[in-house]
Every structure is written in structure tokens, then in C-alpha cells.
Amino acid sequence: MSNVSRRDPLDDFFRGFFVRPVEYGSATEAPQMRVDVKEVDDAFQVHAELPGIKKEDIHVHIDGPVVSISAERKQEKEAKEGERVLRTERYFGQVSRSFQLGQDVDESKASAKFTDGVLELSLPKKTAPQAKRLVID
């Protein structure tokens, strides 16, 4: 007499599903910094997403019309006894972004604010020097 066994295809699908990790891509790739740039009458407004980064680890450099933003997310290792890491997808390391605006920025009046993982820059435009007419004596 032959043994007849019932087989459910979903059993094969879920077998080992929770044991081996599912690959979604490389966790070592640096994520792209998302930036919104707006222009108003006398300034540029920049919003950059920097989730999970501390304010102290963000640096902004302005050189004429070029704005550079760099930030570093540091990994805090807490090894607990009996704990085993199964998967790490968060990125730790440095990200940076540079872009050129249509006009020089007045660095002395520029301001930055960091709230809820979003860096907000207010970059006033540098006023163009007025042509000066010389009076001949």
C-alpha cells in the first residue's frame, strides 16, 4: 500500500522564511541626501533630509554660489550578552552633497536650523555691487 501525503505549497514557501534573511540590496551603499531648493526674491531656501543624524555631525560650507552639506551618522555599538544581530540595514558613515546656486550667497547673513531630521538653510543672495560713477575734478 502506498502512503499518500498531502502537500501544501505555502508550507514550502514559509519554511525557513524566518531563518534566512531576505536580501533587499546592499546596506553598505551610502544613501542619497534628499534636498529641496527654492528661490524667493532675496534668498534661497534649502531643506535637506538627514534622519538619524545629530546636529553636531552636520557641516555646511558656502563658497560664493556653491553650497556643500556633509554629515556623518555614527554607529553606536551596544553588545548585549545573549544578543545576536540577524540583519543590519541602517547606513552608518558619511554623506555629502554640493550644488551651485544661480547667485552668490551672503555668508554673513545665512542661517541654519535643524529640526526633526530636516536641515533648513536660509541663504540670502549677495547684493550685486552697484556701479559707481566717478566725478572728474
| CATH classification at residue 58 | 2.60.40.790
Average pLDDT of the residues in 67-71 = 95
Q: Is the residue at 104 inside a domain?
A: yes
Residue 106's pLDDT is: 94
- The per-residue b/e assignment along 108-129, b for 16 or more CB within 10 angstroms, e otherwise, is eebeeebeeeebebebbbeeee
**21 or 107: which leads in pLDDT:** 107
Burial status of residue 33 (CB atoms within 10 A of its CB: 0-12, 13-18, 19 or more): middle
Residue 9's pLDDT is: 61
Q: Is the residue at 45 inside a domain?
A: yes
**44 pLDDT above the threshold of 80:** yes
> Global pTM?
0.67
Write the Ramachandran bin of 25: left for phi over 0, alpha for psi from -120 to 50, otherwise beta.
left
Q: Is the residue at 12 inside a domain?
A: no
**67 or 30: which leads in pLDDT:** 67
Write the Ramachandran bin of 116: left for phi over 0, alpha for psi from -120 to 50, otherwise beta.
left
- Domain span at residue 48? 30-75+89-126
Q: Is the residue at 53 inside a domain?
A: yes
Q: How far out from the chain centre does Cα 98 lie?
A: 12
69 closest CA partner among 53, 81, 92, 80? 53
Q: Is the residue at 115 inside a domain?
A: yes
**50 or 81: which leads in pLDDT:** 50
Q: Scanning the structure block, which residue is given the C-alpha cell 575734478?
A: 137
Number of folded domains that form the chain: 1
Sign of the dihedral defined by the CA atoms of residues 17, 18, 21, 23, in that order: positive
Q: Is the residue at 22 inside a domain?
A: no
Residue 22's pLDDT is: 46
Q: Is the residue at 70 inside a domain?
A: yes
Do 36 and 121 touch, CB atoms closer than 8 A?
Answer: no
Average pLDDT of the residues in 53-80 = 89
Average pLDDT of the residues in 6-32 = 56
Q: Is the residue at 23 inside a domain?
A: no
